[in-house]
Amino acid sequence: MKLTMIGLIALATHLFVGSSYAQPAADVSSSNATISNELEQRVIEWRRDIHQHPELSNREFRTAGVVAEHLRALGLEVTTEVAHTGVVGILRGGRPGPTIALRADMDALPVKEMTDVPFASTATGEYRGREVPVMHACGHDLHVAMLMGAAEYLAGVQEQLAGNVMFIFQPAEEGAPEGEEGGAELMLKEGLFDIAKPEAVLGIHVWSAGTTGHIGYRKGPLMASSDRFEIRVLGEQTHGSRPWGGVDPIVVASQIINNVQTIVSRQVDITKAPAVVSFGIVEGGVRNNIIPDEVYLEGTIRNFDMGIRSQIFEKLTTTAEMTAAASGAKAEVTIHEGYPVTVNDPELVARMMPTTERVVGRDKVYEADLVTGAEDFSFYAMEVPGMFVFLGITPPDQNPSTAPSNHSPYFYADEAALRVGTELFINWVLDYPATR
């Protein structure tokens, strides 16, 4: 597909003009591939440029233009406008071998940056119909820069490369705007893996809860599914002095909230996988002495097993409907399915572990705890074996447990981690054929 927003990248051209895109041809069978200081500096420059120009989900026009221009300059086969702004690059190696996919997400968040870095964002965008500040508060700018760096290095050793590499630069990981589709699910729907079907897909997410350069991994479930539910409790309006004259949806809603808590604590096997059901919105009534005719509830469901996920959906609906019926009210339940459980293929993790430990050091690789946050990398890993890891970005002289978290306006990333992530991508690709 033809890119239509090239004009938006003019201000970033100086980052690419005159660059030496090809790395010196290295022996790809060497024990460890490392990037040059020059390439590391370019990765840092790309990261800072993207950080200063963050864009919200499905609006990553400038970022997509920067990425597409870079990949074309490297001689890759480039497809643009996948799932609105997604960019896909294919590097075909000079030797036969498998196709492996590497993924980076590109979107930012409606957050006002409060850090004091010289390249802090002052950008704004439109979110839910109003102008908001925009910040790369989750580190997707680092993901893009690291994958651009990996593409440059691997293009420099293309003739020695066994197999092909698919570089996926994905929009809307943080969720598409209301009324739109987006992200990994839409990329797949629009034929991402028809461009090239990889044997495996690998991803890195920077993580403020980890020390710079440390890698957190986990076999099997890593990140939770994330689903949103709405419950409309329909009663019958009456005066607050005569509750028997109607059906009180506020009382019924409170009973539903309490009863739903028994789903996780009493109705599903939590020894198999943890689960969370939380209410975040309770709305109803306009005056102290009027019992309304409706209460609105909204919440989130998180868990680590797709079978349990289905059970919770069913039990949530039944609990709400039956609780309401017992009081003469009605409950209308709507469940909006979000991201599935992010599951790392155990065999793939085991095969890539020697590479991971060699690149970052065995003492810096640890088994991560389950994370109740969600990631749409999960959609790729449902199609082909996947591996997703966390890359620490909090400086060694700071306590990661107290560092501002991902999505915080004070989110800070130690740029020394960029070299680690870039070299991980490169070495995973170089080592993968020998692990088959």
339 is catalytic: yes
Among 283, 324, 290, 294, which residue's Cα sits nearest to residue 234? 294
| DSSP-assigned letters across all residues of 237-254 | -EETT-GGGSB-HHHHHH
Residue pair 341/381 in contact (Cβ under 8 Å)? The answer is no
Instruction: Kindly state the helix (H) or strand (E) to which residue 336 belongs, with its residue range.
Output: strand 330-339
Q: Of the residues 153, 217, 339, 432, which is catalytic?
A: 339
Paired strand residues for 238: 291
Distance separating alpha carbons of residues 112 and 49, to the nearest angstrom: 17
**CB burial class (10 A; 0-12, 13-18, 19+) of residue 388?**
buried
Among 104, 105, 106, 141, which residue's Cα sits nearest to residue 120? 141
Among 264, 299, 262, which residue's Cα sits nearest to residue 279? 299
Distance separating alpha carbons of residues 330 and 325, to the nearest angstrom: 6
Write out the catalytic residue numbers: 339, 415
